[in-house]
Amino acid sequence: MIETRQLTKRYGHLIAVNEINLSLKEGDVFGFIGPNGSGKTTTMRMIATLLAPDYGEAYVCGKSIYNDPREIRRLVGYMPDFFGVYDDMTVIEYLEFFASAYRINGPGRRKVCEEKLELVDMAFKRDAMVNQLSRGQTQRIGLARTLLHEPQVLLLDEPASGLDPRARIEIRNLLKKLGELKKTVIVSSHILPELADVCTRVGMIEKGNLIVDGYVDEVMRKARQQIMLQIRVKENMEKAAALLEQHDLVSHVDIVKGTIDATLKADTFDYSSLPTMLISEGFQLTLFREEEVNLETAFMSLTKGLVQ
């Protein structure tokens, strides 16, 4: 559905996107994660044919961004992170304008617009002026506009930004629904727990380089290459920590707020000998657990915090 090959964009000496290779199938919901200025928006804009790459190639549904930009625009719905709206129009006029621009004409056009308004839960604002909408409502109208022409591919740049918690949950559900409808979605967000719920795949980008790309489980597994254990003993915490530090499986140990954080050596997955050793040394364990890995911790462990 979407394929990029060594997609590169430079601004002078700055490499905004560096040889990104992506391959997404129908129904994939791809979470694009990275700090501000890491190259997410630039990548999306190149796939959306708004920005010409300096090097590399991208295909959407088999169409090249160089040869078939107009066909790609027919297939893609792109919602930028910040987009303007026509303040002097009503909501329904705004949607009808874009529907007509997508050549949706005739009596069905109004119906399509109203369906999309229902979908984003904005039907009650149908005749309101666009400039009277809140930020979150404008965001939803933008999403409705993006969905008007039933695109096969959706590129959503920070769709949840500015939304209240309820609206975020609704957007999350909508993304799940789009995935179920076999649409391919690339969605960028800074709110990582939300992405974990809806995405089938994630990619982490830093300083223009795609450093991780894979299914959510794979990425979590990668992040778990250095497992951290949280251990509490009833007495002699320092002694237990010293003992753990000497163990072959342990890389290093910290005591944080009354808990021993023991980081295991890379590629260590079987750590069953550690609780056995502690118990045999006479320590009474009150807590022994593996630190939970979510997208946030995965992001923190896999990226270096580099920005450009």
Residues that bind other proteins (CB under 8 A): 45, 48, 50-52, 70-71, 73-74, 76, 78, 80, 82-90, 93, 96-103, 105, 109-110, 127, 129, 131-132, 145
How far apart CA 157 and CA 187 sit, in angstroms, is 6
Q: How far is the CB of 39 from other proteins (least distance, A)?
A: 15
189 φ/ψ angles, rounded to the nearest 5 degrees:
-160, 155
Nearer to other proteins, 68 or 296 (CB): 68
Q: How far is the CB of 170 from other proteins (least distance, A)?
A: 22
Q: How far is the CB of 97 from other proteins (least distance, A)?
A: 5
Nearer to other proteins, 101 or 287 (CB): 101
DSSP of 39-101: SHHHHHHHHTTSS--SEEEEEETTEETTT-HHHHHHHEEEE-SS----TTSBHHHHHHHHHHH
Nearer to other proteins, 69 or 275 (CB): 69
**Residue-level length of the chain:** 308
Q: How far is the CB of 100 from other proteins (least distance, A)?
A: 4
Nearer to other proteins, 21 or 105 (CB): 105
Q: How many CB atoms lie within 10 A of CB 258?
A: 8
Q: How far is the CB of 26 from other proteins (least distance, A)?
A: 20
> In the numeric block, which tokens belong to residue 301?
């462990």
Nearest to 222 by CA among 304, 305, 302, 306: 302
Beta strand segments in the chain, E: 2-11, 14-24, 29-33, 55-60, 63-64, 76-79, 153-157, 184-188, 201-206, 209-215, 228-233, 250-256, 259-264, 285-290
Q: How far is the CB of 92 from other proteins (least distance, A)?
A: 10
Nearer to other proteins, 81 or 170 (CB): 81
Nearer to other proteins, 57 or 217 (CB): 57
Nearer to other proteins, 127 or 235 (CB): 127
Q: How far is the CB of 160 from other proteins (least distance, A)?
A: 19
> In the numeric block, which tokens belong to residue 165?
């918690």
Identity of the amino acid at 28: D
- Name the pairing type of β-strands 209-215 and 250-256: unpaired
Is-contact 62 29, C-beta < 8 A? no
